[in-house]
Amino acid sequence: MIGRALLFAWIAGWTIAAFAWAPLVPVLGETTRVLYFHIPAAWITVLALGWSMVHSLLYLRRRRLEHDDHAAGAAEIGILFCIAATASGSLWAKAMWGSYWNWDPRETSIFFLLLIYAAYLAVRSAIDQDERRARLSAIYSAAAFVAVPFLMFVVPRIYFSLHPDPIINPRGKIDMDPRIRVVFFALLIGFTALFFWMLSLRVRVARLERRGLAAQGGAS
């Protein structure tokens, strides 16, 4: 439980630092603080998807349901972070540039990730049997894995060439001030730890559910 308390203090402490210690980014003004939340959320969205897909492939290889637990768990938690990233990004865009959504390359990419998460979870929800659900969703995950590089990098560029926008996104140029960088990476680490903690809980629940069903089956 010391680890948990440490995580709590870590995130709380660095959040306070984000407000009280780190300076503002000149271009962003008061909205600077959103980046400490929004960018880590987006990073974890990608991490979670990668984790989920790797475990899908591992499941197809080794057929151990633990891999399916990880694939599903990472997807369920990942979509939460994805929604958080999308929403915070949208609010940030509204505050900065006056419109909630612009289909600029980053917004487009995060939206596609949201679609993939949703599609994966939709496939899972349409199957009742454990093994079949694990197998078919893993297959979909593997297929989506091919699409991701195209969706993340190619399609947004295509959109942007079709609809060039005068709004330029300066996000690439932040993290100049070392204090900002420190707080950012500290919170990035903190959120990553939070993700893996949530994932471990989710996986343990899945294992318990399977054991509970097995116990019922054995008793009857």
Partner 1 sequence: MIGNAVVLGVALLVWGLVFFYLVRLERRIKELERK
Partner 2 sequence: MPTNPSSSAAAVWAVLRKECLSEWRTRYGLNAALLFAITSLAAVSFSIGRLGDRSDVLAGLLWIVLLFAALASLAHAFVREVEGRTLTMLRLVAAPTAIAIGKLLFNFLFLALIEVVTVPLFLMLMGAPAPRWGSFLALLALGSVGLAIASTVVGAIISQTRGRGALFAGTSFPLLLPVVAAAVSGTRAQWNGGSVDAELRLLAAYAVALLAMSLLLYDHLWED
d(CA 78, CA 74): 6
Closer residue to partner 2 in complex, CB, 97/159:
159
Q: Is 87 in the site for partner 1 (CB under 8 A)?
A: no
Number of residues that bind partner 1 (CB under 8 A): 19
d(CA 183, CA 211): 42
134 binds, among partner 1, partner 2, none (CB under 5 to 8 A by kind): none
Which of 188, 211, 173 is closest to 37 using CA atoms? Answer: 188
Q: Is 197 in the site for partner 1 (CB under 8 A)?
A: yes
Which of 208, 179, 220 is closest to 73 using CA atoms? Answer: 208
Window 17-46: residues binding partner 1 (CB under 8 A): 19-20, 30, 33, 37
Pick one of 154, 204, 213, 214: the residue that binds partner 1 (CB under 8 A): 204
Closer residue to partner 2 in complex, CB, 17/155:
155
d(CA 117, CA 119): 5
Cβ atoms of residues 103 and 88 within 8 Å: no
204 binds, among partner 1, partner 2, none (CB under 5 to 8 A by kind): partner 1
Question: Which tokens sit at 166?
Answer: 């005068």
Q: Is 208 in the site for partner 1 (CB under 8 A)?
A: yes
